[in-house]
Amino acid sequence: MLIFDEVFVGFRIAHRGAQEYFGVRADMVTYGKSLAGGLPVGVVCGRKELMRRFRDDRPADICFARGTFNSHPYVMTAMDEFLSRLASPNFRAVYNGIDETWNKRAGQLNDALATANLPVRVANLSSIWMVNYTEPSRYNWMFQYYLRAEGLALSWVGTGRLIFSLNYTDADFAEVEKRIMTAAEKMKRDGWWWHDASLTNKTIRRQILKEMLARKWLR
């Protein structure tokens, strides 16, 4: 059985989500609040035999899915509106050339970062971006706060993500690029990034672990 968790990417990378984008048919798919225009909701879709709430040999053994706000009229109305618009040709046109647009923007930003000799790069899957670092440093995590000071929210989980709305214009993105460059330049100017050939991600991890253990046993 193949299950796609599309709570994060559903309707963002393609009209029919990751299934359409990767050309794979899943047995079950989960969706989140994108299906309701941002309102809190969870949806599970799947083949008929997988979505049945009981078995033929045990009809009384029902699978309950309960919640305080199940089938809330406000949320159901938002979902109906979203799905109606999703089916319209004008809405589908939003996805035309989406990869080319966001790949070009990522390349443009990476070129600017490289030209300025800043140890930051971005990798993207369409409008979903991750921030990577070209130099090992125990202070890379601080970049999120420099971005925050410029008005950009970088997810601190994993490598860090920037998630863009599909209706970002080139002018909108130019402002984002400007703020990322400003944040990176300030962090470098403040002395948190420097080149040291002896530093590797492995040695940094070992040093941090050593300090943590020393702190623990000294208490």
pTM for this model (two decimals): 0.83
CA distances from 51 to 1, 43, 68, 137 (A): 13, 12, 21, 48
Give the pLDDT confidence of 24-64 residue by residue, as tens digits: 999 999 999 888 888 888 899 999 888 887 777 877 777 77
Contacts of residue 162, defined as CB under 8 A and 6 or more positions apart, other chains included, come to: 122, 129, 130, 131, 152, 154, 155, 176
* Predicted pLDDT of residue 37: 85
Give the pLDDT confidence of 122-152 residue by residue, as tens digits: 999 999 999 999 999 999 999 999 999 999 9
* Predicted pLDDT of residue 140: 92
Confidence label for 168 from pLDDT (cuts 50, 70 and 90)? very high
Domains and CATH numbers, the chain: 3-95 (3.40.640.10), 98-201 (3.90.1150.10)
Pairwise CA distance, residues 96 & 143, whole Å: 33
Helices (H), 87-156: 89-92, 98-115, 143-149
Give the pLDDT confidence of 189-216 residue by residue, as tens digits: 999 998 888 888 898 888 888 888 888 7
* Predicted pLDDT of residue 219: 61
